[in-house]
Amino acid sequence: MLKSIVRVKHISVLIFILLFQLVTANLAFALPALKIDNTTNNQRLEGHFKIWHDPAGGALLSDARQAAADDRFKTLESKGSTGSKSGAIWSRFQLHNTGDSPQRLFLEYVDHQLVFLDGYQRNYGNSEFKLVAHQSMLEPFSERLISHPRFVSFVEIGAGETHEFYFRFASDPKGFVYPDLRLWQPDKFRYVQSIEQLGIALLVGGLLLIAIIALVGGFAIKDRIYFAYFFYALAKVIVWPTVLGYTHMYVLRDSFHWSYMSLSGGITIFAGLVFAREFLDTAKKTPRLDKLLWLMIFNSLLLIGAALMRDSAMATGLMTLALLLYPIISVIALRRWAQGSTNGMVYSLAWLILVSGLFAQGLRDLGFVEHNFVSYYWPIVASYLEMIAISLAMGVHLYRLRQSKELAEKSYRHRLETTKEELERVVLERTKELQLAKQTAELEARTDSLTGLRNRRSFFKDAQSMLSSCQRNRQSMAILMFDIDHFKTINDTHGHSSGDVALQTFAASISSEIRESDIFARIGGEEFVLAIRAEIAVAHQSAERLRKVTEHIYVNAGVVQFKFTTSIGIAMIEDDDTIEQVLNRADKALYQAKRLGRNRSMVA
């Protein structure tokens, strides 16, 4: 029993579905009129219209009406657009005002890519069609009824009335068209428009800020990567408002041309590729892939050329090629990432975001992805996010540059410090050496090299100061002049070197017998002189003592030893004496001593 009830229910559902399909397929205009009233706002017509493709593009309203009568209007099958088609797409729909007052509405075209829009309206069943929209991108922007980057038309429907519409969408000569409109209350439309423009202004302003910072950075750091980044950001500042229609709305109000979009697009692609080369350092790190990048740069230059020459077919082809080649950058970035480059990692991510935006736009235009808020704005947001990601990487780049500069400065300071210390040490060492050399030179200048005693010059200097001091203090001073006896014979007998040893031994022996304050010097070959502070008697005693000391000197000359004696001349200083005068007197006394038989001392 229960089973049969379920079966009957199933059958009735099936019959209902079949009947529904039969009815909907046979009705020329199966879609019911869209109900509107004063609450209608941001209402898309999608699902409430049917379309007809006119491949030649020359069909008039009468042709479209005939197509409708022949049931040639079909439901739009794709999600995004009608795809790239030549000619025009006609859409047909009805609006029914359920309210008790007339409705004035804005009909906004949902995309910015349309070139022509025509619209016809009539009160269903009685009146003739009238033209409610006749817009063209080729017309100056200033002539638009409602100032907006996308086409906006105005319709009015009386209370309780149903109106029938035919809208013609065309992109000349071939293009992507999404035949959809949005209904707005005019005041709400203006409010949403200002919000949208604020959002776009913020994005573009952000890009401009990035461009300025990059430019300042370029001048400050003198790194050309920042200039490349500035150029790229600036190109984006130009391309997005141009593509979205704002450039024509605010700047080029009277001169629309599609080539401006291609030109700004070409420049942006070119700038992006130049920046990618710098940022990823492809010339050095991936030389083979770098050649592909050059190819892409060449393609972007051709695109710029085609846009300047206003060759639409060539520009479209080159732009498509440029976008199709874009994934190569991702490959390069991934390759650089694999090589351990942080820039490579960031760029892989940034480029993925950008390509996803462009991909979304492509899929939407081809009709694979729904035309909605996200698929409409994702490309520009993605393009912006790409710049943010790169900005972060540039920040990191700057931070690292600063760090390595600080490190270099630190090690430079350290090296400087070490070098300074080293220099100071060397200077100190050299100064010491120089002082020592000077001392040695001075010593040599006043020393007799054979005996180590003062030489003649030094004796005169030191004896002079002793003389002055003694004359000042009225002290006695004596000069003892020594001359070794028969020294020539010593030389002749024992050899010159033995004579030298005799002189050295004599000098050492006498030196050890006198006071430190006494001035002893060798002033000639075998002549020595001693200056002492002493009375005449003491001087004489000293001379005798030293003479006796000399008698006991034994000189070792190989197998034989020999002795020698010395004669001494003594002279006392007198007032106003000079050293020479005293020496002369001592010399005379010495001569006396020699004459009297040598080995004796004589007072002058």
Ligand X SMILES: Nc1nc2c(ncn2[C@@H]2O[C@H](COP(=O)(O)OP(=O)(O)OP(=O)(O)O)[C@@H](O)[C@H]2O)c(=O)[nH]1
Binding residues for ligand X, rule: CB under 6 A, are: 450, 483-489, 491, 496, 499-500, 503, 525-526, 594, 598
CB of 573 to ligand X, least distance (A): 25
| DSSP 8-state class, residue 578 | -
Any catalytic annotation for residue 526? Answer: yes
Burial class (CB in 10 A: 0-12, 13-18, 19+), 433: exposed
Cα dihedral 556/561/562/563 (nearest 10): 70
Nearer to ligand X, 169 or 487 (CB): 487
Distance CA 130, CA 464 (A): 138
- Which residue, among 340, 375, 175, has the nearest Cα to 258 in the 3D structure? 175
User: In angstroms, what is the minimal distance from the CB of 499 to ligand X?
Assistant: 2
Please choose, from the candidates 476, 338, 262, the residue with its C-alpha nearest in 3D space to the C-alpha of residue 347. 338
Opening angle at CA 234, ends 305 and 171, nearest 5: 50
Nearer to ligand X by Cβ, of 63 and 500: the residue is 500
Instruction: Look at the block and give the residue holding tokens 């579905």.
Output: 17
Let me know: does 459 contact 529? Beta carbons within 8 Å.
yes
Query: Which residues touch 152 (CB under 8 Å, ≥6 apart)?
Result: 106, 107, 108, 109, 144, 145, 146, 189
Residue 590 Cβ vs ligand X, minimum distance, rounded to whole Å: 9
Q: Which amino acid, one-letter code, is at 133?
A: A
Q: Of 72 and 598, which has the nearer Cβ to ligand X? A: 598
> Which residues are CB-contacts of 555 (< 8 A; sequence separation ≥ 6)?
494, 498, 501, 502, 505, 561, 562, 563, 564
Nearer to ligand X, 439 or 497 (CB): 497
CB of 534 to ligand X, least distance (A): 25
**Locus of tokens 């379309």:** 51
Please report which helix (H) or strand (E) contains residue 152, including its range.
strand 152-157
- Measured from the CB atom, is 284 or 496 closer to ligand X? 496
Q: d(Cα 371, Cα 572) in Å, to the nearest integer?
A: 132
Which C-beta is closer to ligand X: that of 469 or that of 489?
489
From the CB of 444, what's the least distance to ligand X, in Å? 17
DSSP 398-460: HHHHHHHHHHHHHHHHHHHHHHHHHHHHHHHHHHHHHHHHHHHHHHHHHB-TTT-SB-HHHHH
Report the nearest approach of ligand X to the CB of residue 513 (Å). Answer: 21
CB 588, min distance to ligand X, A: 14
CA–CA separation, 45 and 107 (whole Å): 10
Nearer to ligand X, 237 or 502 (CB): 502
Note whether 344 and 208 are within 8 A (CB): no
Please identify which of the residues 108, 278, 386, 526 carries the catalytic annotation: 526
Question: In a 3-state reduction of DSSP, which class is residue 562?
Answer: strand
Q: How far is the CB of 603 from ligand X (least distance, A)?
A: 19
Phi, psi dihedrals of residue 135, rounded to the nearest 5° = -125, 150
Contact 97, 37 (CB under 8 A): yes
Q: Which is nearer to ligand X, 136 or 491 (CB)?
A: 491
Q: Least Å distance between CB 505 and ligand X?
A: 12
Q: Which of 179, 153, 149, 203 is nearest to 51 (CA)?
A: 179
Least Å from the CB of residue 567 to ligand X: 7
Of 403 and 489, which has the nearer Cβ to ligand X? 489
> Do 337 and 380 touch, CB atoms closer than 8 A?
no
d(CA 516, CA 245): 111
Backbone angles phi, psi at 567, to 5 degrees: -100, 150
* Cβ at position 562, least distance to ligand X in Å: 13
Long-range contacts from 393-402, C-beta under 8 angstroms, 24+ separation: 393/279, 393/342, 393/343, 393/346, 393/347, 393/350, 394/214, 394/217, 394/225, 394/226, 394/229, 396/342, 396/346, 397/225, 397/343, 398/217, 398/221, 401/221, 401/223
Q: Check residue 74 and report its DSSP letter.
A: B
What are the structure tokens assigned to 194, written together? Answer: 């200002």
Cβ burial 528-539 (10 Å sphere, 16+ → b, else e): bbbbbbbeeeeb
Residue type, 586: A
- Compare residues 124 and 591 and give the one whose CB is closer to ligand X: 591
Q: Which is nearer to ligand X, 107 or 530 (CB)?
A: 530
Residues designated catalytic: 526
